[in-house]
Each structure stands twice: as C-alpha cells, then as structure tokens.
C-alpha cells in the first residue's frame, strides 16, 4: 500500500522544530566553533591578516553610551550576552526542575566543578608567582569549561557510554559557567557606576513583569533586554552579566499566564512548556549558529609569528600556566574532589559510571576556549602580547585536553560497544 505525498509532508511547526533540534545539536555546535577557530587562525597567519585585523578592529557605535566599540569587542560584549542569556535560562531550569533540584544528586558534579576551578587557578598562580601582579591577573583563565566543545566530543566518541556520564559533564559544566559568571562580575570589573547599575533595574523589572505574564513578542521584550545590556555595559560590569540576569527572571514552570503550548499527550490533551525552555529553544539556535562562532572567529585569530613566535609563547610562564592548568589542573581537581566525596555514603557515584569514564570526561572539562578567551581579554586587554600568548595557551591546552579525553573515551566506548553486541 502506498502512502500519499500529503501524509509525508511535515507541518511547518514540525519542520521548524526539526531544524532547531539539528541546529542545537552538540556535534553541530562544536563543529561550527572549530570551523570558526580554524578560519581565524588561517587568516591571522597568512597575507590576509591585514584584512582580518581591519575588520576585527573596525570601530562603530554610540560614544555617549560608552558603546564606541570594535567589531571584536561587540562580539565579546554583545553576542556573548546572547550565549549567557541561554546559559542563564538553562541554569534556572536546572535549579528549578532539572538535575540541580535535588542537592544530593547534584552534590558530586557541583563539588567536582568547584575542584576543577580551584586547582587550575592554583597551578597558574604557582607557575607565575615570579611574573608580577599584572600576569597573575589572569589566574581565572584555565578555570573554565567550554560546554559546546566538551559535549560535542563526548557526543561523537561516546555513543555507547553510560548516559550518566553526559549528565555528570553537563552538570559540571553548568556550575562551571555559573562560577565563571561570578568571577567575571567580581574580579574583572575595575569600577562600577552605581547610577547606571540602578538604572538597569528599571528595564529588567519591566522585562521580568512581562515574561511572568506570558508576553513573548520580541518587539516588546528585545528593546527592554537591549536597555538592560546598555545600562550594565555603561555601569562598567561586563555586559554578558546582563544576559544571565535576563535569563534568571524568566519563569520555568508553566502557569496559566506564562506558558507555551508544546504539543499534545497520548490522550490528545495539550502539553505546555514554561517560558524558560521556550526561550532557550529559540535563542539557543542563535547562540549556536551565530553568536558563539562569530565570537570565536574574532577572538581566536592569534598571529603566531612563525617558529620564533611559537617558541616565545611556549617559553612564557603565562602560556605554560594556562596549558598545565587546563590539561592537568582540570582533571586533577575534578577527579580528586569526586574521589574524596564519593567516599561519603550519601554521595555515591551513579552505579553505571567507572573511573576510566570519569577520567576521560575530566580531561574534556579542560577544553576552556570560549570563556577562557573572554577572561584573557578582560585580564590583559585585546590584542596585547599577553593576550596573544593567552590565545596560544588556551588553544593548545584545549586541543591537548580534547585529544586526550577523546582518546580515553573512544577506547571506553569501543569496549562498551563490544559488550553490548556480545549481549
């Protein structure tokens, strides 16, 4: 019996849902990041470097609002705010209804995230103790985990690994992002204009009021969000914090006023999502396909300067501290913290997880990239010699961590695959 063409035709909302699902996939997000990084490195180390730098350093904006920024700064301050808005939405969703709702279940990955921040920072400080206070300002660079890259690697090489391993990594990375946001707001803000900060509360309150009542119209919410971003930026706080604050005020649990129809259940009854999952679904596509890759394209373009430049960078304690912090500090902090706390009966690991799996995952957490590059710019200033060495350290450290972690998990995945086929 043949099926009519009309039965095979997808409804527009189903087609769009499939496109969004593909766009937000871990593999695609990591692939776009990688492509943008490679393109930036090629352009920055070929005769096209003058064109690349002229585009990156082209300045435009509104000086009266402290918004006379270069294209690279717009990418770091503006586009990354979209990424952190999605992070804020997902953080709130995890705390309200997700993995972080139960403190006992989330305790181990949360503690592991903290250990994975403290140890790399200590390693960086110890290596750079004799380099002066200006260099030590970058202590937070090797503390971050890039969710997109790390989860993309585990999606590619870990198909047969326990699902609990991905959950552990996601929880760890989410808490890592929360710590990174706090560090940026606390340690990389030189001076704060409190009048501008107070002014930001007005559009933020308006945004919160509207989303709590289910308003989704972009032409109403976007101007308020932009006003919050402008005020936070003018206050001297890194503008990505505006994205997190906006994400935190969006309701997670669907209510009579604030809900979005997501489909129907088996009985034909409507099923509703909260506003936070709805916005995360929509804006996650923008972050994955545009915001983060564009930031990476303008942030990762380091001119190595041939063999001499590479040797100069690799003999700089700044670069060494970043690489060692990412490649060794991250896994040591994560594994030691997890091991010690897993001895507590109430905090036992998931039974499906094995230490070789956790070891591979801990190395993947050493993929710093996005937030590490951002912290480097905040610590030393964009396009400075120190910032160039930061980029080399972050790129090399993240690459080594990805290769080591990916190889360990690929080996474990092959073993798990053989075991499943044998059964």
Could you write out the three-class secondary structure of 54-95? Answer: HHHCCEEEEHHHCEEEEHHHHHHHHHHHHHHHHHHHHHHHHH
**Is residue 1 exposed (0-12), middle (13-18) or buried (19+ Cβ within 10 Å)?**
exposed
37, 52, 265 from 268: Cα distances, Å? 46, 55, 5
Residue 347 is given by DSSP the state: G
For residue 70, what are the β-bridge partners? 59
Overall pTM surpassing 0.85 (yes/no) = no
Q: From 113, 240, 235, 96, select the one nearest 181 (Cα to Cα).
A: 240
Residue 416 CA to residue 423 CA, distance in Å, equals 11
Say what the pLDDT of residue 20 is. Answer: 56
13 pLDDT above the threshold of 80 = no
Could you tell me which residue, 289 or 27, shows the higher pLDDT?
289
Mean pLDDT of 392-420: 92
Mean pLDDT of 358-375: 92
With helix as H, strand as E and coil as C, how does 247-293 read?
A: HHCCCCCCCCCCCEEEEECCCCCEEEECHHHHHHHHHHHHHHHHHHH
What the block records as the tokens of 257 is 């006023």
Contact 291, 34 (CB under 8 A): no
Pairing status of strand 67-70 against strand 59-62: antiparallel
351 pLDDT above the threshold of 60 = yes
Pairing status of strand 260-264 against strand 67-70: unpaired
What the block records as the tokens of 190 is 């030189």
Residue 8 is given by DSSP the state: H
Residue 144 CA to residue 330 CA, distance in Å, equals 9
Confidence of residue 370 (pLDDT cuts 50, 70, 90): confident
Could you tell me which residue, 65 or 304, shows the higher pLDDT?
304
48 pLDDT above the threshold of 90 = yes
Contact 318, 123 (CB under 8 A): no
Say what the pLDDT of residue 21 is. Answer: 57
Q: Name the percent of the chain lying above pLDDT 70.
A: 93
**What's the longest Cα–Cα distance across the chain?**
78
For the segment(s) 12-58+70-188+238-417, the CATH number from 1.20.1530.10, 3.30.43.10, 3.40.190.10, 1.10.486.10 is 1.20.1530.10
**SS3 assignment, position 336:** helix
Show the CA angle centred on residue 307, arms to residues 304 and 308, nearest 5°.
85
87, 97, 283 from 217: Cα distances, Å? 21, 25, 14
Mean pLDDT of 209-214: 95
Mean pLDDT of 207-232: 95
Residue 378 CA to residue 372 CA, distance in Å, equals 10
Q: From 176, 121, 114, select the one nearest 144 (Cα to Cα).
A: 176
Residue 177 CA to residue 114 CA, distance in Å, equals 11
Mean pLDDT of 163-173: 85
**Is residue 345 exposed (0-12), middle (13-18) or buried (19+ Cβ within 10 Å)?**
exposed
For residues 304, 310, 313, 319, the Cα torsion angle rounded to the nearest 10 degrees is 90
Say what the pLDDT of residue 263 is. Answer: 75
Average pLDDT taken over every residue of the chain: 87
Residue 350 is given by DSSP the state: P
Say what the pLDDT of residue 33 is. Answer: 84
Residue 114 CA to residue 417 CA, distance in Å, equals 32
What the block records as the tokens of 280 is 């995360």
Say what the pLDDT of residue 148 is. Answer: 74
Q: From 315, 51, 148, 369, select the one nearest 377 (Cα to Cα).
A: 369
Mean pLDDT of 89-112: 83
Judged by average pLDDT, the poorest of 38-47, 99-108, 220-229, 410-419 is 99-108
Contacts by 52-60, CB closer than 8 A, 24 or more apart: 52/301, 53/301, 56/298, 56/301, 57/383
What the block records as the tokens of 37 is 């990084």
């Amino acid at each position: 019996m043949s099926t009519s063409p009309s039965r095979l035709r997808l409804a527009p909302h189903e087609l769009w849902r499939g496109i969004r699902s593909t766009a937000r996939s871990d593999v695609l997000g990591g692939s776009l990041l990688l492509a943008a990084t490679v393109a930036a490195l090629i352009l920055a180390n070929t005769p096209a470097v003058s064109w690349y730098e002229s585009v990156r350093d082209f300045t435009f904006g509104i000086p009266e609002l402290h918004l006379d920024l270069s294209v690279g700064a717009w990418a770091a301050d503006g586009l990354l705010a979209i990424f952190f808005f999605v992070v804020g939405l997902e953080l709130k969703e995890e705390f309200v209804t997700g993995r972080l709702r139960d403190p006992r279940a989330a305790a181990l990955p949360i503690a592991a995230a903290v250990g994975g921040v403290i140890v790399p920072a200590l390693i960086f400080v110890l290596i750079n103790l004799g380099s002066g206070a200006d260099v030590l300002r970058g202590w937070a660079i090797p503390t971050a985990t890039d969710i997109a890259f790390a989860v993309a690697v585990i999606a590619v090489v870990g198909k047969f690994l326990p699902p609990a391993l991905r959950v552990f990594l996601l929880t760890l990375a989410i808490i890592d992002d929360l710590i990174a946001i706090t560090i940026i707001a606390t340690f990389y803000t030189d001076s704060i204009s409190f009048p501008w900060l107070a002014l930001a509360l007005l559009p933020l309150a308006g945004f919160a009021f509207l989303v709590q009542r289910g308003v989704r119209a972009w032409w109403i919410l976007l101007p308020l969000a932009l006003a919050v971003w402008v005020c936070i930026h003018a206050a001297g706080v890194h503008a990505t914090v505006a994205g997190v604050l906006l994400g935190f005020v969006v309701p997670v649990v669907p209510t009579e006023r604030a809900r979005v129809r997501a489909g129907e259940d088996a009985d034909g009854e409507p099923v509703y999502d909260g506003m936070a999952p709805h916005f995360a679904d929509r804006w996650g596509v923008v972050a994955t396909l545009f915001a983060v890759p564009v930031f990476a394209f303008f942030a990762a373009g380091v001119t190595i300067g041939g063999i001499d430049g590479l040797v100069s960078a690799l003999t700089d304690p700044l670069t060494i501290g970043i690489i060692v912090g990412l490649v060794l500090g991250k896994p040591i902090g994560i594994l030691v913290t997890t091991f010690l706390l897993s001895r507590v009966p109430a905090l036992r690991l998931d039974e499906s997880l094995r230490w070789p799996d956790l070891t591979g995952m801990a190395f993947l957490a050493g993929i710093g990239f996005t937030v590490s590059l951002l912290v480097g710019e905040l610590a030393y200033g964009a396009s400075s010699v120190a910032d160039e060495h930061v980029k080399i350290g972050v790129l090399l450290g993240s690459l080594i961590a990805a290769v080591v972690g990916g190889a360990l998990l690929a080996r474990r995945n092959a073993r798990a695959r053989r075991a499943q086929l044998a059964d």
